[in-house]
Amino acid sequence: MLYVINFKCYKEGTGEKALKLAKALEKISKQKRKKVILAVQPADIFRISKGVSLPVFSQHIDNITYGAHTGSILPESVKQAGAKGTLLNHSERRIPLNVLESYIERAKSVKLKVIVCCENATEVKKVANFKAKPDFIAIEPKELIGGNISVSKAKPDLIKKSVLNAKDIPLLCGAGIKNREDVIIAKKLGAKGVLVASGVVKSRKPEKALKELFI
């Protein structure tokens, strides 16, 4: 299973605290030999990619090239800062589906891996049919993100359907994932990994929280 930890813009996952958190998560992931990706703010990519060996992803990129694009996130910049990939279309940073494929193409042009987030199985099917394929598709129903019940328990059929709709693209699932049971269910339903944010990042003991997700 793949474990993607989204630092979001939480205070616990920003700046020096982000580096401290990354080092703690790296230690436990190495001990348990688990695959972990850290999705961080663009401003923290360089700091974290230099401080740990875990793959670091940007939380977003923009479909722009070099030029006058003040405030945008240039794919080349995150790549040169040390990012190995990027999230796209997270529920908190949505991209219209009619232009999403061009974002994937742009990321691929600088050799960034891509995780595309989808809110429902219909979106999963549309993304899976793009000519420019993401490396992973993540199903995250918006209403369960940050909640107390996981997508594994609340919407198992959504995961099943999304796995089928994703075809040969590995499916990840997120929203409310809190414990090992949630991950076990997700795996049985066909998911190849999970996305987690507050359950680990805002935990008093993030290393323990991550360890308790490992199967």
* Residues labelled catalytic: 90, 140
Distance of CA 18 to the CA centre of its chain: 16
Report how far residue 211's alpha carbon sits from residue 208's, in angstroms, rounded to the nearest whole number.
Answer: 5
Do 135 and 114 form a contact (C-beta atoms < 8 A)? Answer: yes
Report how far residue 209's alpha carbon sits from residue 43's, in angstroms, rounded to the nearest whole number.
Answer: 25
Residue 171: CB partners within 8 Å, gap ≥ 6?
Answer: 124, 136, 137, 138, 139, 159, 162, 163, 190, 191, 192
Do 5 and 29 form a contact (C-beta atoms < 8 A)? Answer: no
Residue 11: CB partners within 8 Å, gap ≥ 6?
Answer: 17
What separation in angstroms does the CA of 204 have from each of 151, 176, 185, 199?
A: 23, 17, 25, 10
